[in-house]
């Protein structure tokens, strides 16, 4: 009589057979997955744009024409600054100067140098207002946008609605209320009369809120499980993720504050920004047309440089903020 197999040996054999079957099925699944991936690659290779070479050339031509049309005013402004006075008044105007000269910039610096207040003071006022307003707005708008985007509390929807409604009003409508508030705070004839309204710019708050809403809530919850507090989550996780948004705010606020002249808020000449001093040169009449052309280039240099450094972030921000 054949010896009977022990129950342990039969169980072991059945386990081995089941493991072998599972391994074979896994191999088959892997092979099927690889085959599907290869098939997808072949399909992607076969897919080609149905646009002809002529269509590509036509599209490039149209885009180049629109780009040139958009850049023409900027190029004309820069070229005007290097034209002598007689060429500036030529009609029809020419784009490029025939006699390249720096006389307009020399006249401008001579006029500013003869001012009662040194130009360095005007430049310091402009830099202080621009940096304080821009940095303050980015920080305050981010701190306010974070709870609106990622926390639930009573009145959250009402505040969000008020932020959106405030975007409908232009600065001309809010000018008188702003002046009354600044006067009540005792900030008239100080740089903070420009800085405080810039910090409360609601468009920046709206952009930051919309961008923060795209951050996965699971990511923030995982950080809380690991022991991170709200401030650590905000500075270490949220702010790096919304970098395109606050770079966009820097561009928008920097351009706005760099050209601010104090308006009806600052009356002391020594506290006025650089744009005020340059506007006085422009107001000199026809005789200062060359210097006025140089003023345009001087005021454009810094905003254009900042824009070119981080302009790619604007498209990303607008795509996430809902602005098209």
Q: Is 307 exposed, middle or buried (0-12, 13-18, 19+ CB in 10 A)?
A: middle
Peptide bond into 92 cis (omega under 30): yes
Q: What is the pLDDT of residue 3?
A: 47
Q: What is the pLDDT of residue 128?
A: 92
**4 φ/ψ angles, rounded to the nearest 5 degrees:** -75, 140
* pLDDT over threshold 60, residue 15: no
Q: What is the pLDDT of residue 132?
A: 92
Mean pLDDT (whole number) for 215-231: 85
When the pLDDT of each residue in the chain is averaged and rounded to a whole number, the result is 77
Provide CATH 1.10.3720.10 ranges for the chain.
109-321
- Is residue 95 within 8 A of residue 79, CB to CB? The reply is yes
User: What architecture (CATH level 2) is domain 109-321?
Assistant: Orthogonal Bundle (1.10)
Q: Which of 97-111, 145-159, 286-300, 307-321 comes out lowest in average pLDDT? A: 307-321
- pLDDT-derived band of residue 324, with 50, 70 and 90 as boundaries? very low
CA angle 202, 255, 252 (to 5 degrees): 35
- pLDDT-derived band of residue 136, with 50, 70 and 90 as boundaries? very high
* pLDDT over threshold 50, residue 254: yes
Q: What is the pLDDT of residue 317?
A: 58
Task: Quote the percentage of the chain above a pLDDT of 90.
Answer: 4
- Per-residue burial over 70-88, b if 16 or more Cβ lie within 10 Å, else e, is eeeeeeeeebbbbbebebb
pLDDT in tens, 16-62: 566 556 555 545 555 555 556 655 665 555 555 556 677 778 888 88
Q: Which of 8-22, 97-111, 211-225, 307-321 comes out lowest in average pLDDT? A: 8-22
What does each C-alpha distance from 297 to 29, 122, 217, 305, 322 come to in angstroms?
66, 17, 46, 12, 34
- The pTM of the full predicted model, rounded to 2 decimals, is 0.69
pLDDT in tens, 286-317: 667 777 788 888 888 877 777 777 666 666 55
- Is residue 247 within 8 A of residue 319, CB to CB? The reply is no
* pLDDT over threshold 80, residue 209: yes
pLDDT in tens, 57-87: 888 888 888 888 888 888 888 888 888 877 7
């Amino acid at each position: 009589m054949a010896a009977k197999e022990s129950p342990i040996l039969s169980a072991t054999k059945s386990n081995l057979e089941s493991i072998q079957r599972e391994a074979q099925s896994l191999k088959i699944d892997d092979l099927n997955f690889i085959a599907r991936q290869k098939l997808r690659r072949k399909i992607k290779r076969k897919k080609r744009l149905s646009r002809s070479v002529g269509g590509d050339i036509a599209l490039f031509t149209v885009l180049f024409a629109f780009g040139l049309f958009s850049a023409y005013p900027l190029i004309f402004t820069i070229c005007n600054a290097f034209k002598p006075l007689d060429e500036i008044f030529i009609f029809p105007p020419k784009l490029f100067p025939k006699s390249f000269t720096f006389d307009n910039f020399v006249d401008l610096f001579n006029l500013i140098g003869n001012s009662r207040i040194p130009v360095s003071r005007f430049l310091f006022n402009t830099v202080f207002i621009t940096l304080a307003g821009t940095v303050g707005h980015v920080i305050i708008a981010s701190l306010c946008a974070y709870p609106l985007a990622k926390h639930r509390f009573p009145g959250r929807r009402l505040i969000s609605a008020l932020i959106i409604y405030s975007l409908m009003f232009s600065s001309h409508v809010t000018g008188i209320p702003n002046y009354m508030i600044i006067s009540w705070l005792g900030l008239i004839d100080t740089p903070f009369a420009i800085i405080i309204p810039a910090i409360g710019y609601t468009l920046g708050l709206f952009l930051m809120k919309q961008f923060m809403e795209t951050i996965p809530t699971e990511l923030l919850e995982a950080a809380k499980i690991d022991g991170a507090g709200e401030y650590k989550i905000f500075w270490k996780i949220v702010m790096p993720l919304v970098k395109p948004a606050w770079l966009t705010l820097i561009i928008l606020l920097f351009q706005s504050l760099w050209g601010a002249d104090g308006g009806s808020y600052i009356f002391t000449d020594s506290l006025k920004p650089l744009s005020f001093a340059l506007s006085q040169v422009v107001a000199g009449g026809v005789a200062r047309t060359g210097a006025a052309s140089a003023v345009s280039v001087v005021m454009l240099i810094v905003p254009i440089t900042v824009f070119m450094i981080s302009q790619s972030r604007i498209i990303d921000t607008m795509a996430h903020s809902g602005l098209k």
